[in-house]
Every structure is written in structure tokens, then in C-alpha cells.
Amino acid sequence: MSNPGSNPPAGGMREPAIRVMMMPRDTNAHGTIFGGVILSYLDQAGAIEARKLGCQSVVTVAMDQIEFHEPVYVGDVLSFYTQTVRVGRTSARIRVEVEAERFTDPCGARVWVTSAEMVYVAVDAQRKPTLIRPQ
């Protein structure tokens, strides 16, 4: 969840779950990237992390409030960093933090865009909740 006072992603050598370059098709009438495009990638990154828990298939059941701290532009490369917050019997809470590397900055300036926590439920072939298998 992106709360007032939340801190941007910690630096260091962690690897993003996904990295995506924003393209012209992703823009709104103001020339910035649609929030919904970023939400879609947030969900994908979170699902990747949830599947690391041994889940064959997961569905998204909740996403916390989203607050965008910086605009995203065409050419920016977004990195989606994930972390497992909590694992229950059939669900997992995953935090995703988003950072943009500015295309227009020759030094590759990085800005914190947003973060969220999502809840994923492991499901079986009949789409019924199933236990999350330990690794």
C-alpha cells in the first residue's frame, strides 16, 4: 500500500521481477502513461512473486490503494520490485514497488513512481482455492 510517508524502494542490488519500457500506445491525452497500464504491470509482477511460493496458478483478489508520486513518460523504463509480505494457507500478500528510469535523462535518473500490496489466492484446475505449497 502506498501510504503518505511511505519510503521509495530501498537501493541495493535486488533484481526486479519485470522491467518494461513505456511506449506511445500506453499514453493518455496528457502525454503521460495511463495509470491502468502501470496497474496491469503491478499485477503481473505480483503474480510472478506469488508463483515463486510454489503456486501453479494464482488469482488476484485485492489490491491496496495506489498513489502515483511521479508521472511516467514514453521511453521510461519501469522496474517492478517484489517482496512477499505474508503467506497464509491459500493466499499471499505481495508488495510491489515501481521505479522509473528516465529516458530523457542522460544520467538515467531514477524516480519512485508507486507501490502497492496485492493479495493472491492459489487456485486449482477448477479455480477453487488450494493450499500454497511450501518450496
- Domains of the chain: which residue ranges? 18-122
Residue 134: HSE in the Cβ half-sphere, 13 Å Cα cutoff? 0
- The per-residue pLDDT for 135 is 47
Looking at this protein, which amino acid is placed at residue 84?
A: T
The model scores a pTM over 0.95: no
Distance of alpha carbon 95 from alpha carbon 3, whole angstroms: 13
- The per-residue pLDDT for 8 is 52
Residues facing residue 86 across a β-bridge? 93
The dotted CATH code for 18-122 is: 3.10.129.10
Nearest to 77 by CA among 105, 96, 99: 99
- The per-residue pLDDT for 62 is 96
- Mean pLDDT per 10-residue segment, the chain (135 residues): 45 83 95 96 96 91 94 96 96 97 88 96 94 71
